[in-house]
Amino acid sequence: MGSLPSADHPPGPGKRQRPNRRACLVLAAVFWLWSGLGLAGEFTLITLDPGHFHAALFQREMLAGVAEEAFVYAPLGPEVVAHLGRVAAFNARPDQPTHWRLRVYTGPDFEARMLGERPGQIVVMSGRNRGKIERIQRCVRAGLHVLADKPWVIGEADLPTLRAVLEEAEARGVVVYDAMTQRFEVTARVQRALVNDPEVFGTALLGSFTEPAVTIESLHYLFKVVGACPTCVRLGFSTSPSKARDLPT
């Protein structure tokens, strides 16, 4: 799926910042799916190891059917502190503040503790990608629903595990959902329809390695404003494979 918006860009002079509602929309879509499975009722969010600001966007606004009390399990460090700061800023903003009540556990056994306690029904994951699909699998086996940010897997070797997770989730009656909504955003849907219409788009060129038929340029801001909170994207580089780092981006 296409990505959740990376930021609410700072408004220009005299402009009002537009709320970012897509994280709430994906939650609403998932609740609709769950109601179809007979899983209606109030849900409680569990945020697991929030290494990326997307995790906080799920709590950008309050949503009917979601409990005010939410849980966070993570290793103690700057990433969980930043996550808590973002949610606190949502609670403290003057315009339509949220009212989340967070219960936080930061021990080294944070994942095992969460799986043992299971204080909610929905696990939110957004952060480092290495090992994410195995973490999703453990949540599914514990009977927990999962909303996981992209990507779920980072290598071809992970694809069998991905397939197994989806099959096991279906068998257990739990929902695992890719927390990326851009492909369902209206302009993306219109664009897809136009590209797939030969009378409008024509026939796609085959292209080659030296002369590709399609080129894509992506601009990713290192400093941005997300939910009215300044956010800096940390990048790490190394020429040695042994020193490569798995950083949330």
Label the pairing between strands 229-232 and 223-226.
antiparallel
Lowest-confidence range among 137-141, 165-169, 191-195, 230-234? 230-234
Write the pLDDT tens digit of every residue in 11-38: 333 333 444 455 555 555 555 555 555 5
Q: Which two tokens stand for residue 167?
A: 């099959």
Q: What is the DSSP string of 158-221?
A: GHHHHHHHHHHHHHHT--EEE---GGGSHHHHHHHHHHT-HHHH-------SSS-S--------
Name the CA radius of gyration of the chain, rounded.
20
β partners of residue 47: 72, 124
Look at residue 9 in the predicted model and tell me its pLDDT: 35
Q: Within 10 A of 102 (CB to CB), how many other CB atoms are there? A: 17
**pLDDT reading at 120 higher than 50:** yes
**pLDDT reading at 121 higher than 60:** yes
pLDDT confidence of 50, banded at 50, 70, 90? very high
Q: Identify the CATH number of the domain defined by range 22-182.
A: 3.40.50.720
pLDDT confidence of 136, banded at 50, 70, 90? very high
Residue pair 154/144 in contact by the 8 Å Cβ criterion: no
| Average pLDDT value for the chain | 80
Q: For residues 11 and 14, what is the distance between their CA atoms, to the nearest angstrom?
A: 8
Write the pLDDT tens digit of every residue in 159-191: 999 999 999 999 999 999 988 667 777 888 899
Write the pLDDT tens digit of every residue in 61-104: 998 889 999 999 999 999 999 999 999 999 999 999 999 999 99
Q: Where are the alpha helices (DSSP H) in the chain?
A: 22-36, 54-57, 78-92, 110-117, 132-141, 159-172, 186-195, 198-201
